[in-house]
Structure 1
Amino acid sequence: MIHPNDRITTPQASVILANILLGVGILTLPRLLADKMKTPDGWITVIVGGLISFGFGLIMVKLCQRFPGKTFFEYSQFIMGKWVGRALNVGIIVYFALFAAYEIRDMSEIIKYLLLEQTPKEFTILVLMCVGVYLTSGGMNPIARMLELILPFTLVIILFSFSLSLRLFELDNLRPVLGMGLGPVLKGLPETWRSFAGIETMLFFTAFMSRPEKAGKALLAGIGISVFIHVLTVITVLGGIPFEQVATLTWPTISIVRSYELTGFFLERYESLLIVVRLVQVFTGYVIYHYIVALGISQTFNKEYHRYIFIVLPVIFMIAMYPKSMNQLNELGEVIGRIFLCIICLVAPALFLITLLRKISHVPK
């Protein structure tokens, strides 16, 4: 059962979800969409992907609301039976361990490439993981309070950075709208799914909400913020750089920020702001996933939670160091994306359907 002091409010739940979702696609989504779609209609795809994600997220919320104060790890064993539920839990734990490792390794690669070229990524990963362990040891409430401080700064920096690029913006770069029909929009949807990887955390932190009946509003606000920022990112990049060029850039968002100057201002490298935002958001995702892994082991096997925060640390570190190149890291990301789709499209809807058919609405004490 969730400790009363570890509850979070509805706005805090929205902030947690928004922070997780903002850490995924800000730097790379415009390139992925431009390369896949071959049209400037990526912003439409993002909106459609957000609506679909909200639909699946709502199923997860409705499932959690049938078991107030219980996480997925607890009610899955009741719905599916002890052993099948535990097997499912182990699979979910492995997924989040992979996701945590992917996030921390991705963050270390960006730091090494753009900031600390001579620093071994092993050292960077260990330092970041130790900070994450310190934060997760306090539980969900301290994590939520930290993210409440981070999100406003993130939004201000993003809006400020993009506003400076308005002089580069050309509306003709976004035309014609739907010039090739809906085909490219649908073709780009798989790329947007990656930007909404993280909504599955609603299966867990809904249990921590002081008013779980408002989880739907928290979901809507969190996805809404993410969709707005991702749409703004795609429009800003594609409006400033033709989509044919965007498809060839590794980090097109950084490229467009680098392409302008503001003389007399105290900061010269404005892309540093976006890099910092990206790193902070990825780190928040890592913290949440590390926390869920430790919580999952604790609740699945009825063990004390805090010891597993430290036990899973070397496991996540070894997974993070396993990819030998960026190509292998990207392959790991593809695997995580496929598991994510299974969770939101198959696992959560199947469990929700079972609860409806069996008229299950609570876990017996």
Structure 2
Amino acid sequence: MIRPNDRITTPQAAVILANILLGVGILTLPRYLADTMKTPDGWITVILGGILAFAFGLIMVRLSQRFPGKTFFEYSQIIAGKWMGKLLNLVLIVYFVLFAGFEVRDMSEIINYLFLEKTPKEFTILVFMCVAVYLTAGGINAIARLFEFILPISILIIITSYSLSLRLFELENLRPVLGMGIGPIFKGLPETWRAFAGIETMLFVTAYMSRPEKAGKALLAGVGISVFIYLVTLIVVLGGIPFEQVATLTWPAISIVRSYEITGFFLERYESLLIVIRLIQVFTGFVMYHYIAALGLSITLKKTYNRYIYIVLPVIFMIAMYPKSINQVKALGDVVSGIFLGIIALVAPILLIITVLRKKSYVQN
């Protein structure tokens, strides 16, 4: 059961979700969409992807609201039975451990490429893990308070950085709208889905809300913030750089910000701030996935939560170090995305249908 001091407010739930979603694709989404779609219509795909993410997120919220004070790891065993529920729990635990490993390796790749070329990846990964352990030990309330501090600063820096780059913006780069029809829009949806990986955390965040009946509003706010930032990113990048060039850039958002500098000001290159914000956002996702994986093991095995904070760390570290190249890191991301699609498209909807059809069986739970 949820302890009283573990409760979070509706704004905190929205902030947790927004932070996690923003950490996934803010630097790379423009490149993926430009390369996949071959048109400048990626911003339309982001809007459609946001609507779908909200729809599937709402399914998860409605499922969780039927079991107040219980996370997915608890009510899965009520719905599907003890052993099938434990199996579903194991699938989600593996998913979150894999995602945590991917996130922390992604952070180390950026740091090594842009800042600390000769620093071993093992060192940067271990540093992030040590900070994450300290934070997750405080529970979701401590995590929410940190996320509340991070999000406004992140949005301010992102919007300011993009605003300084608007001198490159040309509306013609975004035309013609739907010049190749709606085909590319749907072709780009799988890539957009990657940017909304993290929506599944509503299966757990809802249980901690002091007012779970408002989880839908938290979901709308969290998805809305991420859609807004992704939309601004796509428009600024594709409006400043033709989509053919965007498809060839590693981090298009950094490239567009790097084009502007204020000579003589105390900070002349604003892309450094954008990179730091991206790292912080990825870190928030890693912390949350680490927390949920440890929570899942403690609930499923009925053991103390704190011990699993440390037990999952070696596994996450091995997963993070397993890829030998940047291409293998991307392949790990593809695996995580595949599991994510299975969770939102199959697991949550099926469990919700079962609870609706057998509603009377769960009234006492």
Identity %, equivalent residues: 76
Q: Which residue of 2 aligns with 1:55?
A: 55
Shift of 1:268: 1.8
Q: State yes or no: 1:6 paired with 2:6.
A: yes
Tell me if structure 2 keeps the 8 A contact 1:67–1:363: no
Q: Which residue of 2 aligns with 1:219?
A: 219
Matches within 5 A, 1:186-265: 186-265=186-265
In 2, the alpha carbon distance for the partners of 1:363 and 1:111 equals: 51
Shift of 1:364: 4.7
Tell me if structure 1 keeps the 8 A contact 2:26–2:233: yes
Question: In structure 1, what residue type is equivalent to 2:14?
Answer: S
Which string of whole-angstrom CA distances, capped at 9 and with x for unpartnered residues, describes residues 85-115 of structure 1? 0011001100000000000000000000001
Rate the CA distance shift 1:230–1:223 in 2: closer, same or farther, 3 A: same
In 2, the alpha carbon distance for the partners of 1:128 and 1:141 equals: 20
In 1, the alpha carbon distance for the partners of 2:361 and 2:100 equals: 31
Tell me if structure 2 keeps the 8 A contact 1:67–1:361: no
Rate the CA distance shift 1:346–1:360 in 2: closer, same or farther, 3 A: farther
Q: Which residue of 2 aligns with 1:329?
A: 329
In 2, the alpha carbon distance for the partners of 1:299 and 1:362 equals: 20
Which string of whole-angstrom CA distances, capped at 9 and with x for unpartnered residues, describes residues 154-211 of structure 1? 0000000000011100000001111111111111101100000000000011100000
Q: State yes or no: 1:276 paired with 2:276.
A: yes
Shift of 1:220: 0.1
Q: Which residue of 2 aligns with 1:21?
A: 21
Question: In structure 2, what residue type is equivalent to 1:140?
Answer: I
Q: Which residue of 2 aligns with 1:292?
A: 292
Aligned pair count reads: 365
Partner SS for 2:274: helix
Rate the CA distance shift 1:361–1:61 in 2: closer, same or farther, 3 A: farther
In 2, the alpha carbon distance for the partners of 1:319 and 1:179 equals: 42
In 2, the alpha carbon distance for the partners of 1:21 and 1:315 equals: 24
Shift of 1:363: 7.3
Q: Which residue of 1 aligns with 2:91?
A: 91
In 2, the alpha carbon distance for the partners of 1:20 and 1:340 equals: 14
Partner SS for 1:24: helix
Give the RMSD, CA atoms, in angstroms: 1.0
Which string of whole-angstrom CA distances, capped at 9 and with x for unpartnered residues, describes residues 223-272 of structure 1? 00000000000000000000000001111111111112222321122110
Q: Which residue of 1 aligns with 2:120?
A: 120
Which string of whole-angstrom CA distances, capped at 9 and with x for unpartnered residues, describes residues 30-82 of structure 1? 00000011110100000000000100000000000000000000000010010
Rate the CA distance shift 1:118–1:360 in 2: closer, same or farther, 3 A: farther
Question: In structure 2, what residue type is equivalent to 1:97?
Answer: V
Rate the CA distance shift 1:153–1:39 in 2: closer, same or farther, 3 A: same
Rate the CA distance shift 1:325–1:58 in 2: closer, same or farther, 3 A: same
Tell me if structure 2 keeps the 8 A contact 1:75–1:363: no
In 2, the alpha carbon distance for the partners of 1:23 and 1:289 equals: 12
Q: Which residue of 2 aligns with 1:316?
A: 316
Tell me if structure 2 keeps the 8 A contact 1:77–1:86: yes
Q: Which residue of 2 aligns with 1:44?
A: 44
Tell me if structure 2 keeps the 8 A contact 1:68–1:362: no
Rate the CA distance shift 1:8–1:360 in 2: closer, same or farther, 3 A: farther
Question: In structure 2, what residue type is equivalent to 1:99?
Answer: F
Question: In structure 2, what residue type is equivalent to 1:12?
Answer: Q
Question: In structure 2, what residue type is equivalent to 1:154?
Answer: S
Q: Which residue of 1 aligns with 2:133?
A: 133
Tell me if structure 1 keeps the 8 A contact 2:30–2:237: yes
Partner SS for 1:23: helix
Tell me if structure 2 keeps the 8 A contact 1:129–1:313: yes
Query: Runs of at least 4 residues of structure 1 off by over 2 A?
Result: 360-365
Question: In structure 1, what residue type is equivalent to 2:244?
Answer: E
Which string of whole-angstrom CA distances, capped at 9 and with x for unpartnered residues, describes residues 103-161 of structure 1? 00000000000011111110000011010000000100000000000000000000000
Partner SS for 1:267: coil
In 1, the alpha carbon distance for the partners of 2:328 and 2:363 equals: 42
